[in-house]
Amino acid sequence: MFSRLKFCFLILVISVNLSEQSEQYHEELFIKPLPNGFVNTFFQFTTRWNMASREDLLHTKLTPRPIAEVLYNYDVKELNIALTQGLWRYELWGYPVVDSAPGAEAWAWFNGDNLTESHVSRQWKDLTSTFSGILCASLNNIDEANTVQPKYSFRPRFVAPKNTKSFIKYSTLPRENVCTENLTPWKKLLPCSSEQGFASLLNSGYVHNTNYHSVKVAIRTFQEAKTGELTMELVLSANLVFDPILISSSKDYSIRKIFGQGLNGVCPMSSSSKIYVDITEDKFELVPDSDDVKESTRGASTTKFAIYDMKVISPNDLFNIAFVKKDKQNLVPIIPPPILTAHRYILAKGQEEGKIMTEVTNNHWADLNVVLQENIPWFVPSYMHTLTVKNGNEVLKIKEFHYIPGNDRERPYHLEIAFTVPAKSTVKVYFDFDYIFLKWTEYPPDANHGHYIGSAVVTALLPVAKNYTTIPVEGYLFEHSFNASRPSYFIQIHTESLLLSLPTPDFSMPYNVICLTCTVIALAFGPIHSVTTKILTVDTDGDENKGFIKKVIGKIRDKIKGKKSAPKESVEEKPKSE
Amino acid sequence: MEFSCKFLAIFLAITILTVTRTLGNSNVPQKFVDRIQKSNHTNNWAVLVDASRFWFNYRHVANVLSIYRSVKRLGIPDSQIILMLADDMACNPRNSRPAQVFNNANQHLNVYGDDVEVDYRGYDVTVENFVRLLTGRTVNGTARSKKLLTDAGSNVLIYLTGHGGDGFLKFQDSEEITSQELADAIEQMWEKKRYNELFFMVDTCQAASLYEKFTSPNILAVASSLVGEDSLSHHVDPSIGVYMIDRYTYYALEFLEKVQVNSQKTMGEFLKVCPKRVCISTVGVRKDLFNRDPDKVLITDFFGGVRPTKILSDPIDIEFTPEKTFEEVNINIPLEGAKPSYNFPSQFASELFD
């Protein structure tokens, strides 16, 4: 017992020594009233940790232990896992701070000495299995058969020592449900869990009553080539879209109304704890109002933010912000569409062949270069010779064509194409596919529900930053997006995922066949058996051949025997009747 | 010397014989009997399985979550509960009360709770995964939370619910586990010393058929219905249009809600929670494999968590780290700009368009 105590004490001493490394935790909440009356709340919890060496990963403080262990054990340098329910409506809501595909989406960059393709595949499998445990999701279903290696669509956001090859793995599970069991473990990764700070607002009953919700874990590392100094960045974000009318049956809302409770102070571990409210449109009166108003000019568009520094305002008490609509008139807003949008759908007649159609729209006055990534599961055999990129009737030139054909049960179809979308036009990208039968054990238990095809990813550089709130690659806090003017702005959007109803065999057919066959055999067996085993004879023991005396004796005998003889006769009768 | 040794050995043997004979008599001191009746398990685990998919099987999810709620409340940590849910009822689009599952149309008790952790869900709930879980033959790389890491000191609660028949339980309407397969898996658990005692609870139609093939020791089994009988649901909630919960689990939960961590209620009482007049089906119990008398087994031996604690009377000297050290750390860290800015590759493949 005492040795155990000593051991505990030793750990305490070690942790004191290690506390000299710098580790910071920030919590941020960005609230944006959306043009259509909805409200977008974006939570971001950032932990940044500077370490002298990789060994420091074994002594965690603010960073959750499982995350540090993952970075220590695997050669993963950047990892993004998002679990999303619902579809982000770009036309109505603009661009989100962080975009993710419906269902589960995961991608990771691996980089290390002597790393080979097979190592990476093994690590990717282990990594996703580990996170399936950490996030209570079915990420363990990610394997080679649904993983692609994007060449152009995803670029590293980590920094590793030079001269080593990086590997990427990308996969989506569009069928994944997202519910409390994912939110709970996600919240447990935070230093204050959901006890204090912004995470206390994330009550599952309210979070899952939204039009869109997405939780994400993003990890990346920066390593200096010379010193070996390592910086780890862990960003946990939750993106929610509420419909105030559904919640409070009025266009006014407050933090307490949409989350079910007021903000419960700040997390004492946090270095900063700030709320940003987008007040560019100036449609709401904020109660209480903030004195700290910042203007952010980014590529010719200006956004105004009211900033609440919770460390100063109310570090311990409950806090609430009410949004009271200034103009009570019910005006229908005219929403200018974002520059780039994308949609996808299936064109098909019958259950034999179909077309997957992706529409990429450019609403800008200038041409826009885009890269489109399609990730088609192996059970949707696609024919790339039918790939057409058309703007109206004009066939567009494909600048780059990267295609890895799929292989049954082994590899998905992966397509990346680069093309230019002309100004103010919609480009249609389509190709043919076949509906196929699977092996009958490969159908899921609810085969008639259909099979999902993960969303396509469209990447582009936007010339203007209208509706654009993404944090630049070198930044990590929401405030780093303020005044972050750049020549162009990187955007990555996702299309809808598709539901494809493959032809399903009649699963009860074997059962029906067995039942029917057995009935037929049973019916046939009886008569065939009796016909083949019994001899048909004419009953010669009849009365007509006997003499008179014998007849009399026979009758007397019958009378004496009485009932006994009766059944015997009927047995002998039977073959006759047939 | 040799002679005296032999004499001593014979004398000892005779003494032992007489002692054992007296112990063998019926008037054994009560404390020895009690010691045998007391559980000697060191940890508790629970495997809770809902094997049915589809919205109309809402009641099976409510069943399994009722037991989950109880074992969690009574102290089994989430890391030692393996919860398998074949379908998502809480966030199902048909559920008008998102992230909530109730056991009663009155909506008093949200059995889904606010911090549920589901280990196997959706398509992962298969017979293969269930048997792999029990026997400890999980696929390489399986997450720790998806493994049953029990040992010879573990008391394990296995709860199954779904649609069953004589000798089988259906998984997701597409495959089934037979009672023989189940008995084999549990026999393997015993051989591998993966449990100390096992409480097997099943709420399906013809549930008793599932424990009939068991041969392994230390198993107490209870089933909601006998062979040839249906298990019935309790009531329907018209607002969502499905049955809420099955009768047996409804009354089991009602009983468990009254149990506290330090409760002296026994398994014997628990086995009688659903008499035929309320359950309509006959609750089947199998005690022949179980060494102890259920009336003397605490319900917390299976539904509660063991927390090994040792009470020390001596004062312990712990040196606290001065607060100052932490404050300094916070001051030392510059908010931004101290780190050299890194060079990132272009996020967009602009080179393709040159």
pLDDT tens digit sequence for A112-133: 888 899 999 999 999 999 999 9
- Those residues whose C-beta lies under 8 Å from the C-beta of residue B321, and which sit 6 or more positions away, are A12, A16
B53, B90, B341 member nearest A180 (Cβ): B90
Catalytic residue from among B60, B163, B274, B279 = B163
Average pLDDT over residues B245-274: 91
The Cα B315–Cα B279 span in angstroms is 55
3-state helix, strand, coil in chain B (%, to 5): 35, 20, 45
Among A325, A355, A376, the domain-final residue is A325
Q: Give percent above pLDDT 70 in chain B.
A: 84
Query: How far is residue A199's CA from residue A183's CA, in Å, rounded to a whole number?
Result: 11
pLDDT at position A332 over 90 = no
Facing A203 at nearest CB: one of B114, B118, B121: B114
In a domain, A233, yes or no: yes
Residues A355 and A539: their CA atoms lie apart, in Å, by 77
Is residue A570 very low, low, confident or very high in pLDDT (cuts 50, 70, 90)?
very low
Enter the tokens of residue B160. 């199954």
Q: How far does the CA of residue B220 sit from the closest CA of chain A (Å)?
A: 31
Give CA–CA dist B174/B182, Å, rounded: 17
Instruction: Report how far residue A434's alpha carbon sits from residue A162's, in angstroms, rounded to the nearest whole number.
Output: 44
At A521, is the pLDDT very low, low, confident or very high (cuts 50, 70, 90)? very high
Instruction: Dump pLDDT digits (tens) for B39-69.
Output: 788 899 999 999 999 999 999 999 999 999 9
- Whether A283 and A428 share a structural domain: no
According to the model, what pLDDT value does residue A576 have?
36
Q: Would A506 be classed as within a structural domain?
A: no
- Evaluate whether ipTM surpasses 0.95: no
CA A353 – CA A178 distance, rounded (Å): 32
Q: Taking CB atoms and an 8 Å cutoff, what residues of chain A touch B343?
A: 159
User: Residues near A388 by Cβ (< 8 Å), separated by ≥ 6?
Assistant: A395, A428, A429, A430, A431
Point out which residues pair with A341 in neighbouring strands: A361
Question: H/E element holding A468?
Answer: none
CB contact at 8 A, A22 and A49: yes
In the predicted model, what is the mean pLDDT of residues A516-528? 92
3-state secondary structure of A342: strand
Determine, yes or no, domain membership for A6: no
CB–CB of A476/A48 below 8 Å?
yes
Q: How far apart are CA A79 and CA B125, in angstroms?
A: 27
Residues A314 and A384 in one domain: no
What integer is the mean pLDDT of B104-115? 86
In a domain, A5, yes or no: no
Q: How far is A577 from chain B (nearest CA, A)?
A: 41
- In tens, the pLDDT along A222-265 reads 988 777 788 999 999 999 999 998 888 888 899 999 998 888 88
pLDDT at B337: 46
Does a structural domain hold residue A8? no
Closest CB to B321 among A1, A16, A231: A16
Domains of chain B listed by start with CATH number: 43-303 (3.40.50.1460)
Q: What is the overall mean pLDDT for chain A?
A: 87
Determine, yes or no, domain membership for A333: no
Question: Residues B2, B3, B6, B11: what is their CA dihedral angle, to the nearest 10 degrees?
Answer: -140
Torsion of CA A128, A131, A133, A134, to 10 degrees: 180
Scan residues 320-339 of B and list those with Cβ closer than 8 Å to A.
Answer: 321, 325-326, 329-330, 332-333, 335-336, 339
**Same domain (yes/no): A249, A346:** no
Cβ of B143 within 8 Å of Cβ of A20? The answer is: no
Q: pLDDT tier at A218 (50, 70, 90 boundaries)?
A: very high
| CA angle centred on A200, ends A66 and A285, rounded to 5° | 135
Question: For residue B120, which of A491, A487, A132 has the smallest C-alpha distance?
Answer: A132
Cβ-defined contact of A371 to B341 (cutoff 8 Å): no
Same-domain status, A135 and A205? yes
**pLDDT at residue B117 tops 60:** yes
Looking at every residue in chain B, the average pLDDT score rounds to 85
CB pairs under 8 A between A and B: 160
Distance CA B8, CA A574 (A): 90
Q: Is B210 helix (H, G, I), strand (E, B) or coil?
A: helix
Give Cα A130 distance to the centre of its chain.
17
Spell out which residues of chain B touch residue A22, defining contact as CB-CB under 8 Å: 329, 332-333
Q: Which region among A71-80, A328-337, A563-572, B93-102 has the lowest average model confidence (pLDDT)?
A: A563-572
Q: How many domains does chain A have?
A: 3
**B60 assigned to active site:** no
Asked if A55 and A116 sit in the same domain, the reply is: yes
pLDDT average, residue stretch A355-376: 94
Domain match, A482 and A551 both: no
Q: Where among A500, A522, A550 does a domain terminate?
A: A500
Q: Which residues in chain B have Cβ-Cβ distances shorter than 8 Å to A420?
A: 353
Pair (A411, A279) in one structural domain:
no
Q: How far apart are CA B74 and CA B178, in angstroms?
A: 31
Give which of B84, B81, B58 is closest to B70, Cα–Cα. B81
Pair A480, A515 in one domain: no
Residue A83 has pLDDT above 60, yes or no: yes
When comparing pLDDT for A543 and B226, which is higher?
B226
Interface contact B91-A459, CB threshold 8 A: no
Task: Kindly determine whether residue A16 and residue B333, on different chains, have CB atoms separated by under 8 Å.
Answer: no
A486 with A549, same domain? no
Interface of B with A in 100-129 (CB under 8 A): 100, 112-119, 121-124
What the block records as the tokens of B49 is: 């399985």
Query: Are β-strands B43-50 and B81-85 bridged in parallel, bridged antiparallel, or unpaired?
Result: parallel
Residues of chain B with Cβ-Cβ distance to A179 below 8 Å are 88, 90-91, 99
Same domain membership, residue A218 and residue A126: yes
Examine residue A231 and state whether it is found in any structural domain, yes or no: yes
Output the pLDDT for position A247: 83
State the pTM of this model: 0.84
Is pLDDT above 70 for A181? yes
Q: Which residues of B297-322 are buried (b: 16+ CB within 10 A; e: fewer)?
A: bbbbbbbbbbeeeeeeeeeeeeeeee
Q: Looking at the domain assignment, is residue A11 inside a domain?
A: no
Q: What is the DSSP letter of A280?
A: S
Determine the residue type at A96: P
Comparing alpha-carbon positions, the chain A residue that sits nearest to B112 is A180
Q: Which domain holds residue A309?
A: 21-325
**pLDDT tens-place string over residues B305-354:** 877 677 788 888 887 766 555 544 444 444 444 455 678 888 888 888 88
Q: What's the gap in Å between the CA of B3 and the closest CA on chain A?
A: 47
More confident residue, A474 or A519: A519
The predicted pLDDT at position A336 comes to 80
Q: What is the pLDDT of residue B12?
A: 61
DSSP A365-397: SS-EEEEEEEEE-TTS-EEEEEEEEEETTEEPP
Q: Which among A131, A143, A11, A121 has a CA at the least distance from the CA of A80?
A: A131
Specify the amino acid at residue A181. E
Of A437, A468, A500, the one marking the end of a domain is A500
Q: What is the pLDDT of residues B169-198, one digit of tens each?
A: 999 988 999 999 999 999 999 999 999 999
Q: Give the separation between CA A201 and CA A43, rounded to whole angstroms.
A: 10
Q: For the domain that residue A347 is a member of, what is the CATH number?
A: 2.60.40.740
Across the beta sheet with B284-286, the strand order is: B120-121, B81-85, B43-50, B154-161, B197-203, B219-223, B284-286
Q: Is the dihedral of CA A531, A533, A537, A541 positive or negative?
A: negative
Whether residues A191 and A50 share a domain: the answer is yes
Q: Do A185 and B117 touch (CB under 8 A)?
A: yes
**Chain B residue whose CA is closest to A223:** B342
Quick one: pLDDT at residue A164? Answer: 80
Answer yes or no: do A393 and A445 share one domain: yes
